[in-house]
Structure 1
Amino acid sequence: MFQPLRKPFKHWSLLALPLAAMALGGTSAAQAQDWQPTRAVEYIAPANPGGGWDTLVRTMANVIRAEKLSEQSFAAINIPGGGGAVAWAQIARDDKNDNKLFATSPPIILVPLAGTSRFSHKDFTPIARISTDYSIVLVRADSPYQTIGDLFAAIEANPGLSVGGGSAAGSMDHIAIAGAAAEAGLEPRQVNYIAFSGGGEAMISLMGKHVEAVIGGAGESVGQLQGGELRAIAVSSPERLTGALADVPTFKEQGYDYTFDIWRGVMAPKHISAEARTYYEKLFARMMETDSWKQASTQLGWLDAYQNSAEFGAFLDQQQAQFSSVLGDLGLLKR
């Protein structure tokens, strides 16, 4: 029987302590400089348009084009389904393609652990960690819920009340709202979480009154909030964000000692060449130094968190160990 958790989610940081720099082996700098993509790079968002992966892919592609960092374009491609599992299966079958990349975040760890994908981060090549984001809770502009406390009180009174998210059950958005509910004194399983194929679909469902609230990445919510149809009632950052989200109160401000970080990065097929891997990680490091990137990431509330391929790979292994424990506490661990 599931027992109430004793605040194990008080600070669910998805960012590990800084890792020691690790040198990439097997490829000289000269070889890496010689390799360049010979055609458009397929840059995959494993979800429908409008979510966090899609926002990352399109923002990075736009900056690379604007700053003329590559002679080839980075073509944004959406492959939704299974919280990322459909895209991962397709990418795994094309495991030697040097011209294919995909956006990634905690679901690459959480979805396989929950048993809904047979592919894990071990089946792909880490290229670079890019940024960190935070979770945000949105309601309709006419919603009766003015604070996150109002929403939690409604969930306690009516466990059937639904909260949508753009990641699969047991994955990032589900974990984020379950952890916040636990800090509020609720059983995480009281949250009726509804999974959608990306944050954009979740937003549409919220505006259509099919769910009462949505939790997603703060960065991807900026455009929706500017339209005036939605309101943000809490963000999981330690302090208020800057830019367009500066007016959104944190969980901490509202009496819940809770934060939740969302890292985002880039991966490639498992057997990408060492030369291509080095090219991409250096390309993204240069991208993050540009004014275009700094302006875009500030507007979206992202914090730079670059790691190269080796560092990112070690970080992913740490995440797998951490979230095995988290999903076990929720009774969702399958692997």
Structure 2
Amino acid sequence: MSRSGPRAVRAAVAVGSAAVLLAACGGGGQQDAASGGDWKPTKPIEYVAPAGTGGGWDTLARTTARVLDESNLVDRPLRVVNKPGAGGAIGWSYVAKHQKDPHKLFVTSPPILLVPLAGASGQTYEDFTPIARLNSEPLAYVVKANSPYKTFGDLAKKLKASPKDVSVAGGSGPGSLDHVGLAGAVQAAGADASKVKYVPFDGGGEALTSLLGGHADAAVAGASEVQPLVRSGDLRVLAVSSKERSPILPETPSLTETGVDYAFDIWRGVMAPKDLSESQIAYYEKAYAEMVKQDSWKKASEKLGWTDAFMGSKEFGTFLDEQNKEYSEVLTSVGLKK
């Protein structure tokens, strides 16, 4: 979206006039921002997706950037930049070098907690500013349609009795998203999570292909990833990891319904560099709060299988603290916390 032309010139003149008046009164733009006054971006916003194109983070970044821009909720365009590698750590490291820069944002999800806990990142979530949590999606525990496991209880019983005889494929590395979602559920069901034979793949698609090819006995992946294969009759879902049933897999029981006291959400949100001012945080927080109300966002979310789970900056920060503690306990139980 172009920001040049007569309107931009008039805006620049107005800003300049305001600066002169503030200076005459002994004030200044930096003091105003520090005291919680209005702030707006002055140049395009670099929007980091810490993964390659086509994945979950990339989809989130491009979808939110489009809706924010088309709905005129931001004063400058968000330009998506992909920085893949190390489970997200390459992208986080880049953002961390731009402390106090309000023109940098990045999309995030559980790996921002899990990867550092496993000792695979030089930064933790505390090195960044939480802006907003946007949505969530449960994991789905699936088997082939002809599998002898009819319920999650059947699978848990086998894992408890002879864990070495069952392999479970997942789309993330040891200690990351899918592994923790599996380990927590298995542990809550009474099995020893550290003995589960978890087979990692680079993405949920590869994990499900392995399952369909008979190279794994079960798999864990995002509900939206398994939905097409469930509809086609190739896979059967044993349970979803949310406390309630998923709207995109309405016939599948939640873990809670099966008697397993565990829940795991693939939440997604937005963070920024450390030490942004209150007015800078408020600007972005308001933009995303308005974004989730837009029809275009609701339609995209429905198509992608995302459930609204908005939280503002402070609430999101508290949520991250709680999640970090929970994930730490699970990783410790499977011997993966560094």
Tell whether the structures are fold-level matches, with TM greater than 0.5: yes
Residue aligning to 2:198: 193
For residues 297 and 61 of structure 2, the distance between their equivalents in structure 1, rounded to whole angstroms, comes to: 12
Q: 2:185 aligns with which of 165, 180, 204?
A: 180
CA apart distance, 1:178: 1.1
Which residue identity is paired with 2:298? K
Q: 2:132 aligns with which of 115, 128, 135?
A: 128
Identical aligned pairs, as a percentage?
Answer: 46
| CA separation of 1:28 and 1:102: change in aligned 2, threshold 3 A | same
Which residue identity is paired with 1:60? T
Residue aligning to 1:49: 54
| CA separation of 1:71 and 1:206: change in aligned 2, threshold 3 A | farther
Q: TM-score of the superposition, structure 1-length normalised? A: 0.75
Residue aligning to 1:218: 223
| CA separation of 1:43 and 1:225: change in aligned 2, threshold 3 A | farther
Q: For 1:102, what is the secondary structure of its paired residue?
A: strand
Q: For 2:131, what is the secondary structure of its paired residue?
A: strand
More contact order relative to length (CA 8 Å, sep ≥ 6): 1
User: What do the CA deviations read for 1:116-159 (whole angstroms, capped 9, x no partner)?
Assistant: 22210122221112223322113345545433234334544351
Q: For 1:259, what is the secondary structure of its paired residue?
A: coil
Q: 1:87 aligns with which of 57, 74, 91?
A: 91
User: What do the CA deviations read for 1:277-326 (whole angstroms, capped 9, x no partner)?
Assistant: 33322110110111222344345554433232233233323333343334
CA apart distance, 1:37: 5.8
More displaced stretch, 193-202 vs 120-129: 193-202
Q: 1:318 aligns with which of 298, 318, 322?
A: 322
More displaced stretch, 301-310 vs 230-239: 301-310
For residues 229 and 238 of structure 1, the distance between their equivalents in structure 2, rounded to whole angstroms, comes to: 25
For residues 86 and 171 of structure 1, the distance between their equivalents in structure 2, rounded to whole angstroms, comes to: 16
CA apart distance, 1:234: 1.2
| CA separation of 1:122 and 1:254: change in aligned 2, threshold 3 A | closer
Q: CA RMSD in A?
A: 3.2
CA apart distance, 1:77: 4.6
Which residue identity is paired with 1:36? P
CA apart distance, 1:44: 0.7
Which residue identity is paired with 2:114? L
Residue aligning to 1:17: none
For residues 90 and 304 of structure 1, the distance between their equivalents in structure 2, rounded to whole angstroms, comes to: 29
Alignment of 1:13-162 (within 5 A): 26=34, 28-30=36-38, 32=39, 35-36=40-41, 38-39=43-44, 41-46=46-51, 49-51=54-56, 53-70=57-74, 73-95=77-99, 97-141=101-145, 143-155=147-159, 156-157=161-162, 159=164, 161-162=166-167
Gaps of 5+ in 1: 1-24
Residue aligning to 1:308: 312
For residues 220 and 74 of structure 1, the distance between their equivalents in structure 2, rounded to whole angstroms, comes to: 27
For residues 116 and 258 of structure 2, the distance between their equivalents in structure 1, rounded to whole angstroms, comes to: 34
For residues 176 and 323 of structure 1, the distance between their equivalents in structure 2, rounded to whole angstroms, comes to: 9
CA apart distance, 1:266: 0.8
Q: For 1:245, what is the secondary structure of its paired residue?
A: coil
Q: TM-score of the superposition, structure 2-length normalised? A: 0.75
| CA separation of 1:231 and 1:43: change in aligned 2, threshold 3 A | farther
Q: Are the counterparts in 2 of residues 49 and 198 from structure 1 also a CA contact under 8 Å?
A: no
User: What do the CA deviations read for 1:74-95 (whole angstroms, capped 9, x no partner)?
Assistant: 4555444333223222333344
| CA separation of 1:235 and 1:48: change in aligned 2, threshold 3 A | farther
Q: 1:281 aligns with which of 270, 280, 285?
A: 285
More displaced stretch, 41-50 vs 286-295: 41-50
Alignment of 1:197-276 (within 5 A): 197-222=202-227, 225=230, 229-242=234-247, 244-270=248-274, 276=280
More displaced stretch, 131-140 vs 144-153: 144-153
